[in-house]
């Protein structure tokens, strides 16, 4: 994993600290920020980053193993890694799928969070506040989610990482945390997806129009394209039976 521990694993101040660590790492996986095969920091490093006792981290990691989100390997190249089948793990197997109305309400929240993040990023691009490398990374993540032949899990993580990266670029830690939560929820909701959508035919499910609006530095256009993108997810969810009837 090429991300420094301090950026992903910030201090946790909660009554149920072990549970909060499980949720934080689960959301990082669900949002695509941690991918299968990524190596976690050591228990000591996580303890320092989260500002909790080592035994608290140890309990959380054991719960994550029980959920098959992570696995620990022994030996010279050992360590704790995100499980290869994390997307199919028990943590994401929530039997209580949302109804159409519940998912529509979730979409309103997503429009507010992701729409504002998109508008802020477009504004930052217009103002020349993002580096060339950051803009190029955005384009690379767009293209990664459009590759042919992706498995449903690979597509879900690529899709999640694209949206999560937009939130990261907007410069608001609170919006980034909210986007992580949104993408983790979508990973649970879309787990029934047999295959990824054909972005060539389902144009609003692609990231092309949204990315173009961002790169044009147009905040309002970016909001509109984000809104069209997320509302089309409702249509796909209803049409393909991912959501429960009211």
pLDDT at 151: 79
Residue 234: pLDDT band (50, 70, 90) is confident
d(CA 83, CA 72): 9
Strand partners, 81: 39, 71
Indicate if the pLDDT at residue 156 is higher than 80.
Answer: yes
Structural Rg of the chain based on CA atoms: 18
pLDDT at 2: 45
Residue found under tokens 């042919």: 148
d(CA 149, CA 114): 27
Indicate if the pLDDT at residue 116 is higher than 70.
Answer: yes
Q: Where is pLDDT greater, at 214 or 191?
A: 214
Least-confidence region, from 45-59, 106-120, 206-220: 45-59
If one counts every other C-beta atom within 10 angstroms of the C-beta of residue 172, the result is 16
Taken as a whole, the chain contains a residue count of 246
Strand partners, 97: none
Residue 30: pLDDT band (50, 70, 90) is confident
Strand partners, 71: 81
What SS3 state is found at 151? coil
Task: Give every CB contact of residue 149 below 8 A, 6+ residues apart in sequence.
Answer: none
For residues 198 and 204, is the Cβ–Cβ distance under 8 A? no
d(CA 63, CA 19): 9
Indicate if the pLDDT at residue 172 is higher than 90.
Answer: yes
Mean pLDDT in residue range 69-93? 83
- Nearest residue to 236 (alpha-carbon basis) of 205, 199, 215, 192: 205
pLDDT at 147: 87
Least-confidence region, from 45-54, 61-70, 86-95, 96-105: 86-95
72: enclosing H helix or E strand: strand 70-73
Q: Mind listing the pLDDT tens digit for each residue in 193-222?
A: 555 556 555 566 789 999 999 999 999 999
- Nearest residue to 199 (alpha-carbon basis) of 208, 190, 191, 188: 208
Looking at the chain, the whole-number percentage of residues with pLDDT higher than 90 is 48
Average pLDDT across the chain, whole number: 85
pTM to 2 decimal places? 0.77
């Amino acid at each position: 994993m090429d991300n420094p521990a301090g950026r992903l694993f910030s201090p946790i101040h909660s009554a149920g600290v072990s549970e909060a660590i499980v949720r934080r790492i689960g959301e990082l996986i669900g949002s695509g920020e941690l991918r299968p095969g990524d190596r976690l920091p050591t228990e000591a490093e996580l303890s320092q980053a989260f500002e909790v006792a080592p035994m608290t981290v140890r309990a959380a990691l054991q719960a994550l193993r029980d959920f098959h989100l992570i696995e620990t390997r022994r030996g010279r190249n050992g360590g704790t890694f995100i499980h290869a089948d994390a997307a199919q793990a028990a943590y994401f197997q929530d039997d209580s799928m949302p109804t159409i109305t519940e998912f529509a309400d979730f979409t309103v929240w997503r429009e507010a969070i992701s729409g504002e993040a998109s508008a802020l990023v477009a504004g930052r691009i217009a103002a020349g506040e993002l580096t060339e490398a950051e803009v190029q990374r955005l384009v690379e993540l767009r293209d990664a989610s459009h590759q042919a032949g992706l498995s449903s899990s690979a597509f879900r993580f690529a899709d999640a990482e694209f949206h999560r990266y937009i939130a990261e670029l907007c410069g608001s830690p609170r919006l980034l945390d909210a986007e992580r939560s949104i993408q983790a929820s979508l990973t649970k909701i879309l787990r029934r997806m047999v295959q990824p959508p054909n972005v060539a035919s389902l144009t609003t499910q692609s990231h092309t129009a949204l990315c173009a609006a961002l790169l044009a530095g147009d905040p309002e256009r970016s909001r509109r394209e984000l809104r069209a993108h997320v509302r089309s997810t409702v249509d796909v969810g209803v049409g393909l039976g991912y959501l429960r009837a009211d």
